[in-house]
Amino acid sequence: MRFMDPTRSELEDRFRVLQDSLPPHVRVARAAAMYAWARQLIGREIVARTGPLSAARLKWETALRLYGCDAESRKLIQRMLDHVSA
């Protein structure tokens, strides 16, 4: 049998079929785990750049990185940052 490297679209199609076959609660759990992983990664990057921060400050700095491109979100997050200690 010869090894065939699937094209990207074939791979994406196979992934989509497998994803769609998962029960909804498993898909939600996977999405939540990926979101938590992304937040932790961003948090580590922020701490590496700025040094140690309080848990509250890190939470809002992370939120700013995630949602800061939206003007309204940025204003709300900045207000929260103004009230937390470093």
Nearest to 65 by CA among 31, 27, 38: 38
Residue 55, in any domain of the structure:
yes
Q: 68 near 77, Cβ under 8 Å?
A: yes
Residue 86, in any domain of the structure:
no
Q: Which domain holds residue 70?
A: 8-81
**Separation of alpha carbons 60 and 73, rounded Å:** 11
Total number of domains constituting the chain = 1
> How do the pLDDT tens digits run along the chain, 86 residues long?
445 555 668 888 888 899 999 999 999 999 999 999 999 999 999 999 999 999 999 999 999 999 999 999 999 999 999 999 76
Residue 33, in any domain of the structure:
yes
Look-up of token digits 């990207």: 8
This prediction has a pTM of: 0.73
Q: 53 near 46, Cβ under 8 Å?
A: yes
Give the list of residues 6+ apart from residue 39 with CB closer than 8 angstroms, or none: 62, 66
Residue 37, in any domain of the structure:
yes
Look-up of token digits 């948090």: 43
